[in-house]
Amino acid sequence: MNTISLLIIAAALACQPGHRLVDWSDRLPAGTYSAEFIVTLNPFYARVFIYRPGHSDVIQRCCTGRGVSTIRLPITDGRFCVGQSQPQMTYTLRLSSRPDLPI
């Protein structure tokens, strides 16, 4: 196996099965300690799960009963795993970083 194949396998194993790896490391300015995700869901009763790769024990659940909500997470390398509660649901994540707030 070549190096790229091993990296892809490692990235896939960092998230739980069925969850997606999102890499926003190039969108975050240096010195960012935390980020707020603005989450929009359809249907409103669905849920989204966000956590750092390899840390599935610290899952942030969002938006039960609300169509729009925010989740605040600490930043390490700008990569996150995202899961959804229903296969047919749609969601939008917007990143709002705050480099001045240490966690």
Torsions phi, psi for 9 (to 5 deg): -65, -45
Whole-number Cα distances in Å, 86 to 6, 26, 28, 47: 30, 29, 29, 8
**Measured in whole angstroms, how far is the alpha carbon of residue 7 from the centre of its chain?**
19
CATH-assigned architecture of domain 3-98: Sandwich (2.60)
pLDDT digits (tens, 9 = 90+) for 27-66: 777 777 777 888 898 888 888 888 888 887 788 888 877 8
The arithmetic mean of pLDDT across residues 75-79, rounded, is 82
| Nearest C-alpha neighbor of 69 from the set 99, 43, 36, 98 | 36
Instruction: Check whether 103 has a pLDDT greater than 50.
Output: no
Does residue 26 carry a pLDDT above 50? Answer: yes
